[in-house]
Amino acid sequence: DRQVSRYQPVQHHFPMVYGIGRAGLPPSAPPQRRAQALQLKAYLMFFDQLLANHYAQLANMEKLFSFGDETSDSYFSQPVPDDGTLALDEVRVKSADEHATALQRITEQPLDVDASAAPDEASRLRRRNRFLDHLLARFGEQFRDYSLLQGGLHAQPAARDAQLARDKRAFLRDYPAIGLNRGTAFDCLERTDGPVDNISGLELTLRRKLGIAAPEERFYLVEHVLLRPVPGDANQHGPLLRAARLRDPYSLQITFVFPRTPVRYADPDFKAFVERTVNEETPAHIAVTVAWKDDAGMQAFRDAYRRWTGELRAGRLRELGIEP
pLDDT of residue 115: 42
C-alpha pair distances (Å), 248 with each of 154, 245, 286, 301: 44, 9, 13, 23
CA distance 7 to 264: 49
Strand-strand pairing, 287-293 and 220-223: unpaired
Q: Is the pLDDT assigned to residue 120 strictly greater than 80? A: no
pLDDT of residue 153: 67
Q: What is the share, in percent, of the chain residues with pLDDT greater than 90?
A: 63
Identify the weakest region by mean pLDDT among 120-134, 236-250, 279-293: 236-250
Residues 6+ apart with CB under 8 A from 213: 170, 207
pLDDT higher than threshold 60 for residue 111 = no
Q: Give me the sign of the Cα torsion angle 118, 121, 122, 126.
A: positive
Q: Identify the pLDDT of residue 319.
A: 87
Question: Is the pLDDT score of 113 beyond 70?
Answer: no
Q: What is the DSSP string of 30-68?
A: -HHHHHHHHHHHHHHHHHHHHHHHHHHHHHTHHHHT-SS
Residue 92: alpha-carbon gap to chain centroid: 39
Find the helix packing angle between 157-173 and 121-138, rounded to 10°.
30
The DSSP code for 178 is H
Predicted TM-score of the model (pTM): 0.82
- The pLDDT, as a whole number, for residue 117 is 42
Per residue in 50-99, pLDDT (tens digit) is 999 999 999 999 999 999 999 888 999 999 999 888 889 888 888 889 99
At residue 152 the predicted structure's pLDDT band, cuts being 50, 70 and 90, is low
The overall average pLDDT reported for the chain is 89
Q: How many CB atoms are located within 10 Å of the residue 278 CB? A: 21
Least confident of 38-42, 121-125, 231-235, 252-256: 231-235
The answer to whether the CB of 62 falls within 8 A of the CB of 115 is no
Ramachandran class of 59: left when φ > 0, alpha when ψ lies in -120 to 50, beta otherwise: alpha
Question: How far is residue 310's CA from residue 188's CA, in Å, rounded to a whole number?
Answer: 9
Q: What is the pLDDT of residue 195?
A: 62
Give tens-digit pLDDT for 276-298.
999 999 999 999 999 999 999 99
